[in-house]
Structure 1
Amino acid sequence: MSAADPRGVAHRLAYAGLIPFVAGCALIWLIGGRDLDQHAFVSLALSAYAGLVIAFLGGIHWGLSFARGLPGRQPFVWGVSAALLGWLGVLMSPYAGLALHGGVLIACYAMDRRIYPQLGAADWLTLRFRLTAVSSLSCFLAAAGS
């Protein structure tokens, strides 16, 4: 993959997007109960990032549906639902919100597996699986440490 290859750039950026998930989870466990202010800050930061990513994943369905002209309203309803669930997780206490985020990230992947083939994006599912595995596991582990 060359630097000008948009798919290669997308893959590298997608993997870089895992850094806040892994770092946030690690920091939650490293800080533990020693500094409650830092623990609360890192938990909120990870939760906000997870909510943002979930909203982004829902937005992909909107963009692909507009671009490819997929009939029906399912991608649009899912896009808004994902964003609302991501926001709800940010509003919840960290142990519950991060667990919700982990579940919603898995639901996003399940929805992608259903809809991406119809949108001509099935070749992205391997990457999506890897990203989902790391991000959702990070959220679940962080919830356990909260």
Structure 2
Amino acid sequence: MYPKRSLPKVMWWLGYGGLVPFFALTVALLLGSGLPLLENVRLDWWLAAYAAIILSFLGAVHWGVALGMQDTLDERDLGKLLLFSVVPSVLAWFSLLLPIKWALFVLAGLVALAYIVDSLLLFKHLSADYGKMRLHLTVIVVLLLVAAGVAV
């Protein structure tokens, strides 16, 4: 197995940059205001949709690791990674069927659960920096989704 390198700076920028919609939408919801050019949209649903997309992305990381390491992983580990590559997107999609307040709370729980699953199955295959970044991002996203759920 090759030594795990530090994450490239662009991954840090993209990871933390992904927080911008969470912050902007949550702050607007907390203040009861709109956002420029988005005066006639449901910001709470935009936030829930964005969170669902992020959860789908988090699941896709499992798929990518499984694909990249398929020759070195045993069948059981490969199967777990592939299973958990699709579970977040399916659960996130179902959460969008809930009333918006509950959708935001459920999505917050799913983001936290995704981190727990990733810490058990995924992080051992990746740079330790990825786990650190994901912890920071997870805490912030969960807090923002809960705050938005309280605000709506």
TM-score above 0.5, yes or no: yes
Match of 1:50 in 2: 51
* Unmatched runs of 5 consecutive residues or more in structure 1: 33-37
Match of 1:35 in 2: none
Aligned residues: 138
Match of 2:14 in 1: 13
> Structure 1 residue 59 and structure 2 residue 60: aligned?
yes
> Structure 1 residue 22 and structure 2 residue 28: aligned?
no
CA contact (8 A) 1:15 1:131 kept: yes
RMSD across aligned positions (CA) = 2.1
CA distance in 2, matches of 1:43, 1:123: 31
**Cα distance, 1:111–1:56 mapped onto 2, change above 3 Å:** same
How big is the shift at 1:118? 3.6
CA contact (8 A) 1:28 1:39 kept: no
CA contact (8 A) 1:116 1:122 kept: no
CA contact (8 A) 1:99 1:143 kept: yes
Match of 1:127 in 2: 133
CA contact (8 A) 1:31 1:39 kept: no
Comparing 42-51 with 105-114, greater Cα deviation is found at 105-114
Match of 1:139 in 2: 145
Q: Deviations over 1:73-121 (max 9, x none)?
A: 1111112111111111222211100101100000111111112244234
CA contact (8 A) 2:123 2:130 kept: no
Amino acid of the structure 1 residue aligned with 2:61:
I
Amino acid of the structure 2 residue aligned with 1:132:
T
> Structure 1 residue 95 and structure 2 residue 95: aligned?
no
Amino acid of the structure 1 residue aligned with 2:47:
L
Amino acid of the structure 1 residue aligned with 2:139:
A
- 3-state DSSP of counterpart to 2:10: helix
CA contact (8 A) 1:102 1:140 kept: yes
CA distance in 2, matches of 1:39, 1:143: 20
Q: Deviations over 1:47-88 (max 9, x none)?
A: 000000000000100110110123321111112111111111
Aligned-residue sequence identity (percent) comes to 26
TM-score of the pair, normalised by structure 1 = 0.86
CA contact (8 A) 1:58 1:80 kept: yes
CA distance in 2, matches of 1:88, 1:79: 16
- 3-state DSSP of counterpart to 1:91: coil
Q: Larger helix proportion, structure 1 or 2?
A: 1
CA distance in 1, matches of 2:118, 2:133: 11
